[in-house]
Structure formats: C-alpha cells, structure tokens
Structure 1
Amino acid sequence: MKLKIIALLLLYIPILTIGQIPRVQKLIDGKPCDTCFVKHDMSFSNILPYVSIGTYSNPQRLSDKLKEFKVNEFTKDEKASYSKFFESHRHIITDSIFRLVFVTENDDKRYWPIRHDYKNYDYKEVEILIEKNNKILNNWQILDKLPPVYGYQLNRFTDGDSKNGISEPWASTHQTDDIHLYYDDIITFTFRKSDTKEIIQTTHIKRILDKPKKFVYYQTQTNSKGIKESLQSFLNDPLNSDFIRNKDTTNSFELRRNNLGVLVFNSLEEGEEIEFTLDKQTGWKSIQKNGKSAFEHKFIILDNEDIPPGTNKTLYLRYKNQPETEIPITIRGVEDLTQTSIFKIIAGFMLASLLFGSWFYFKNKLIKKKLADLNKKNKAIETQLSLLSGQLNPHFLFNSLNAIQGTIMNKDFETANAYISDVASFMRRVMDDGKKEFISLSEELKLEEDYLQLENKRKPFTYTIQISPSITTNAIDFPPLLLQPILENAIRHGLKNEIVNPHIGIKILEKNLDLIFQITDNGKYWDVSKAQNGQGLSLTHKRISIYNEKLDAMKITMDITYQEGTLTRFTFKNWLA
C-alpha cells in the first residue's frame, strides 16, 4: 500500500501555474477553450508564416530519422554545409492528420510569433501546390482563396510575451483541408508567385513510425520509515547506476523485492500520451505530458504488487490511438537476498520453506488450471470465428455466381468477363482479411465500398458513407466483413427494381465511448423476420455472439427496423475506450 501511495504522489502532485492563453485554442460552441490542448507547431517556415495544427514537427527523440531525411536533399558538396542542413525545409511528424493555417492579417505584427528573415509576400499573389508521394493532392491555389479557419482560434500577444502579454486573435487566417498520412507518406508543399511562377519555397513533411521506446528504467529501494521519508529519499537520493537501464539497449528488466521500478519518459512532446498495461484484458492506463504537471518528465511506477518476485510480466506500451506503435517490455520479479539477514534466513528457513512451498504449489496449480481453461476457451472462440468466416466466403461467392449467370444469360459476355475478374480480385481480399480476428476500420470500409461498387455494376444504385470527424478510422480495430451481409440484404431485398433512385447510406457516429453504425436503404417494406434465419444474417448473429463472449467489456448489438426504408443499427459498446 505504501508503494502505491508513493506512486500516486509522484504521478499526481499538483503544481500552481499562472493562467496562460495558448497560441492555438479549440473553439467549443464558438468560444475558445482555455483548457483544451491542441497540438501545433509554429516554426515550419521562415519565409511564409504558417502553423501546423494536429502535430508537432521534428520530435527530438527522432533526431536520427530527421537527419537521414534531410541528408537525402543535398548533393555531396552540400552535405558538408552546417547552415544548409538546418535551413532545410524537411520535417518529420508522428501524427496521422494535420492541416496548415496561414496567418494572412496585413499589419506590422503579421508575422509574429513566426520569425521572418527574408521577404514579406502578399498572400493574394502566392500559390500553393500540395502533393502526396509525388502525386497531386490539391492543385495550385491562391493562399488568400483558401477557406477560413473553423474550429480553432490563433492568438497573438501584443508584447510578444505569452505569460504577461495581452492576447488577441488574428483577424484573418486561412487553412488547408485536413491532410491524412500513413507511415512513410511524404507531403510536399510548393509555394510560388502567381504572376511569374517563381518558386518561393518547397517543404517536405514525412510521417515516421515512432514507438515509445525512448525511456530510462531504474530501481529505487523503499524503506519502513514512513511515506514522507520514503518519498523524500526517492526524489533526492542519488540513483544507483547499477539499476539504470536504457530501453535503446534492452527490452528486459528486473524488479527486486521492496523496490520501485520506474520508467522515465524524458522525450515526450507536449500533449503526447502513452498508454500502458500489464494485462490487455483489464484495459489500458495512460500518462500524458502537459504544462500543469509538477514534473517535466513522465513516469510509470511498478512495485511488487504489479511484479511479484519470482514471476515474469509483460508491460505493453503504445502511443494512444496508434495500435501500430505497441511494444512489449519483459519485467522479471526477483528476490534480493541482501535485504534479509542471515539470522532470519536460518531461523525461519524450514517453516518458511514448508509454508511457502505448499502455498506456491497450490496457487501455481490453480493459476495453471485457470490459464489452461482460458487458453482452451480462447482457442475454441478463435476456431468458431474461423469457421464462420469460412462459411461467409462461399455464401458471398454463391450470390456472385448467380449474378454472373444472369449476365451470361443476357449474352453480355464482355460484362460477364469483367465481372468475373472483379469478383475474383475482391474474393482474394475477402479470403485474406477474413482469416484475421480484427482489421482496422479504414480497411473494413474499403472492403465494403469495393463490394458496393461490385454490386453497382449489376444493379444501379447510389450510396454514401459519412464518418464523424472525431473518429480516426485507421486507429480502430474492427471485425472483418461484419457489415457485408447487411449491405447484401439491402441490395437484394430492400432495393427492388421498381424503387426510384435507390440509395444506401452508411453513417458512423461516436456517442460517449460507443461506436455506432447506421445502415439505411430507401426500399419498400420487406419481411425482415424471415431473413433472420437466412444464411447472411444468421452468420452475422453468430459472429456477434462469439465476439461478445470474447470481449467482456466491449459488447456488440444489432437491431433492424423499418422506417420508410430498412434501418440496421450496430452499437459497439466501449469500443472507443
């Protein structure tokens, strides 16, 4: 208990801070939020003053990656130039979505707080080209014609001091659309004069896969003097160099009895959040760097309740909303015999051995039995999911063959041949992803959209997919092909031939921690109850039941109703936790 209290004190000691207006504020109901944290960077350019919102550039812990990216820009002779290296307009980021905001107010303070060492350009005479991986994303456009900023407010300070100066919002700002990047994608911004087409500046931004491996691990011994003395000693005593281990060199550590194990993250950027857990089944906890913490670095603290002596535990780390960054850290609990006197060892050896041996035997036997039962249950669930996925593929293939047969009967052989090729390509992806327990939501939506386009060749209809802006689809795990039977029923039963302007709509919403899907069609009423025992819906119900059994805290429900068309509603409880 004492160790836990110390850990809580270290993590949550408050600190008095002077109220400051942030450079960038999120707007809620049109009003700036003083407590909402917004990632931003205000030093991308020394010619054209713009701010990136949604990410930082050039995290210090990735200096080697930045150097590698910048060096590729120069010739052999230029690589020796120190100044050219640091003037390079090449940057790396770790986030997946950002936008550029251009400060376009025309007054003496237009460029504050972004420095300008060169020329001042009239934004009505400057064009921007945005490319992604050498392909045009947005063609040339006058900066002053970009849409105004919404959802955010940029502030400036009259005397240049964010602590004491008077803040006021920029009177005029324009922004690009959100720019989405996968890992290793490169976005290129090119600026030129609109009249002479002279290139003013070219900036390259690359997204890097950044795993939370930059930390120092050390141990510190606790004592029995009380919470105050233990905390005082922990914070001020010199560290034992034998206990310090850097994650860059190893991913396996020890935790001795009556010690605290401390992971110190000293390279986090402001606002970055790391999630950690010793048991994925019980959920993830998180730490975040922010300006209101008592300590500049962030800590994860472990004691013998977390890592009992004689056991091995795996600590999982990842950046929040980025499952791809997960890394495992093995921590072994060990006995430290130097903490026990020889007299105690001799006097209590026989009794302690008997009691501890019996306790450990029965507890270990019970744990092994529980683990064996749990593994058996997990294997049975995975087998059921695999079997159901295998049934889904023939079901879809059967319906596709019927469609191909109809096309051949109409003697449209060219269409039939193209349709067969498309079906084969789609089935290959279905078979690959159907073997997985989860895929990302973005991959699921791509599969379903490919399916709708495939069906659209056989029966004309329109469809829309609407996603709430707060949802990051590539960071959400999702059961593969769960939506396909519902879309298939909407096309087969809801959208009859006599329907005028047949349409299917997919909406993805966020409510608290729940993920909600709404699939609608504008077809006439059909007896949904008869389809409940059909192959497609039957498989969907079975899959949902199995996922619900496997995921205790994350439940899936499905309801089908008729409201001037069929509405199917999926609710994924606690899916965004």
Structure 2
Amino acid sequence: MRKTLYLLNILLLLCLVAKPQINQKNKFITFFVLDKTYITFSNNYMRGNDGHKYNPYFPSSPDETSHYMVTGEEVLISAVEIDTLAKVKSMSGNFHLDTVPAHRQFYPLRSLQVRITKNGAPAGKWLDIIKMPTFKDTAIVSETSYWLLKDSLKVNDSLFIEFRRNDGVALMKLHIRRKAIEKRPFLMGSAHDTSTSRDESAFMQAQLLKTYPSFKQGAAFYTDWPARIDKLDHAYMPNSRVAFYFREPPDVTDFTFQYRLLGGRYKDTSWKNTRGYVLVPSLQAGAKYRLDVRYKDAPALWSTHLFHVPPYWYQTLWFKTGIGACVIIVGLFLFLLWAYLKNKRQEEKRKLKIQSLYAQLNPHFVFNALGSIQGLMNDQQLNKANQYLSGFAQLLRNSMLSTTKETIPLQTELKNLDNYIQLEILRFNFQYELYVDPELQTAIIEVPPLLAQPLIENAVKHGVSAKGAAGQIKFQILKDKQDILFSISDNGSGFDPSKAVDRHGIKLTKDRIELYNKHRRITLDIQSNTTGTTVLLRYKNWLEHD
C-alpha cells in the first residue's frame, strides 16, 4: 500500500512540465583501446581508481593494477577487433588508448589471453579470447564480439582480470569490487514549470501519461546508483516553480522523506515530511536556495541540492553598482553645485562689502579733499586751489573707475597715489620721495585699488601737515622674496598705534584687508614713536600669483 501511494505521488509529480529533466539512463562504460582491439568494461555505476593511485594499463608497467569500484550487480566485459572506425555506429564512455606504435604487436585479438579470478579464489586457466562465447554488438557493424565476462556481483564481491599475450608477455590487470550504496536520498530528476497562468492542479496533471514510462524505467535503473551531494548550482526562471523527485530508498521500511528548504523567503530550518518529491512554488528572482533531503528512518545521512534564480536586470550587481555610481555622481554634482553657488554668494557678498567700504572711503576722501581746497581758498591761494581742484577731479574719476574692480595694475595704483600726494603737497608743501623696486613688473602685478590711500592720508594729516617744508614722507614699494611691501614713512610726532583703530581711514583699510584675506594674505603693521611713523603694508606671496 505504501509503495502504491509513493508511486501515485511520483506520477502526479511527473506531470509538472512538458519535458521533465530525468537523469540519462546510460551505463558506465570504459574502453581500453589497444590498437584495433577494443576491450569494453561496463556496469550500472562505476568509479575509477577506487582510492588507489592511477596506473597505466599498457606494457610499460604490466605489473601495476587499475582499480574500479562498482555498485551495479551486473558486470560485463567484452572484446572486439575493429579494422576501421567506419564500422562503429555509436560508442560513448571513458577511453584509455595506447598510441605507442611499437606496442601494436602486442594487441592482435588472436594473440590475447585472459584470466579471471573471483573473490580471491585460486587462479584459473588462461583462456584464448577468440575461443570465448561470441555475440553481435549492436554498436558495431558486421564484427564479432567476444564475451570475456558476464557475471553478477554481490556486495563486497571482487574480480581480478589479467590480460597477456599467448607467448606469456603480460599486458594489463584490472581489479573490480562491488560496494554497497549509501542510504542518502537519490535525486531522480526535476520538473520545472515556467507557466504562471495555470493552477497547481493543471501543473500536476499536464504530462502524467508521457512521464510515467520514463519514471518506471528510471526508478529501476537508478537502484544501484549511490546518492550524491549535488554541488552544481542549477538555475531556474523567476516566478516559476520546480519539483524534485527522489528514488524509492533501498532497504528502508518507511520511505517517507524529510526535507528543509532554505533561501529566498524560506527561513524555517525545521524538517518537513514528504512522499518522494519536493515542490518549490513561486521562485524569487535573485534568490539562492539549498534543499536538504533525508529519509525519516535514517536521518544521519542526507543529500544537498543547490539551485538559484537569476536576478532581474534591475537586481543585478552591475545595475546596483551603476545606480550607486549614478547616485554618487549626482550627489557629488549637487554638492559641488551647492558649494559653487555658496562660494559664489559668499564672493558676491564679499565684493559687496568691499564696494560698501569703497562707498565709505570715497565720501571720506572727498570730504578731506574739499577741506584742502577750502583751506587753499581761505589762504587766498586761488591758483593752487584751481590746480588742486583740477587734479582732484582727475583723481576722483580714477577712484570711481577703480571701485568697480577688485584689483588694478600696480602701475595704475601708483599713479593714483602719486597724484593724491602731489595734491596734498600743493596744500602743505612737505617733502616727498617715491621709490619703486625695479624688479617689480608694475604693469602686470595686480593689487587692490586705493588700499594705501588712507595710510598716506593719515601720514599727511597727522604727520607732516603742521611741519610745512620740514615735513617728509617717504613712499617705497619693495620686493621681499615673493612679497610686495608698501612702506610709508613720515617724520611727524608719532602716535599710539594701539589707538589707531579710532582713525576712520585706518579702520576702513583694516576692514578691507580682512575681506581680502579670505583669498590672499595682506598684513598691516604700524610702527610709531616721537620721531615719526612707519606703516608697512605687506602683500604675502603676492608674486606667486602674478
């Protein structure tokens, strides 16, 4: 009754798809090709070497033995001599060839003998192969094949097969042992259904009649096959379903299977019962699955089968990497744009502040100039007043033009400052000396406009205005390594530099320097005593940029 239920379950399973995948039912065959002589060894399942070192089969080492492990009951060994491959219809399996031309004399079938010993019994007689039973091999046209061995082996039975030439020259030796198979569940095949339109009932009944003969034949064929740990990572379509069906276990009274499925949405590690098959519906794209299967009454041994579902294109690593790269690039672009706009706003704000200081400087400058003109007129020095007024107009025009620019050529700045000093000389008649370092390229070097003007104005007003012709102002523009140094000296009575911040012109200059120092370095140093004052305006590393 149990077997009947088991068969019905498997039959329902086999209708899963139009073409279920059932393992190929081909015996394992090994061919020893000795020139034109073919010796064929076959079993339901075999594995070479059987834990022994691999050895050649041919006359170069005739004393060494090649070992094979088989699990099938029937062992077949035959021999045939083929003149031409054109007579071969089909021949597949593992081939071992001796291609040394000098060995061809060893292998004519008429000169070969075989001796077979079973389970260590005393050695039997050597038999001529051409005197052994014959048969017609369907894989070969019009050639007679010879049965060397057609025997059934029990578990742990062994065979020792020796080949030699009829003159006693040894050729090769084979050792064959049958071993018991493990009780691991054996995967007979799988059924994969990519249709999402039909329900499970239609899925289970679609190919019942087609798959039943294949299953019935396959179940018996795989009885002798050992179970395997399936390390192949099979792939199935997203949103499809797949069923795995297993061989009825040998020598097990209760052939209920237990399985656990991990991967995708399956997280439960507990074992579940089934009768010969495992159905996995709704495979998730991008998921990796592991199926462990065991027998209920033999839980110590199980088989493992790996499979996966390829991800959709938008789930692939390259797509995620591309999206990540795009997000990073867009984020970086937005950050750089934000930083650029922020810097631009700050720069515009800084320029507006500079222009605001210019706006404060110009009225201060105009007020002082008008005071000088008024003083000349009060002293009845009308010619000087007119000359001062003309020069002042020119200077004011140049000053207004300069305020629209952040920097102007040093040559233009010196001209404006010299014009201003000449105007003040008209009023106060002091001595003035200008020196420009010849190494400075004044037409190329750019400096902030009128930054030194309030400093010169203070030197005139608070330093030499009361001294007349005895007053002296020395204005030097020097090159100090990569710095430009403005030095303004007067021989006035001096003042306390710590209180200089109260003077409007110096305060405006310091405010402008603070704004310029956000990009380039300018320092102001005031040295004063009773013999005079020196103001140093240093443009740090200015020549590196010009």
TM-score normalized by the length of structure 2: 0.40
Higher radius of gyration, 1 or 2: 2
TM-score normalized by the length of structure 1: 0.38
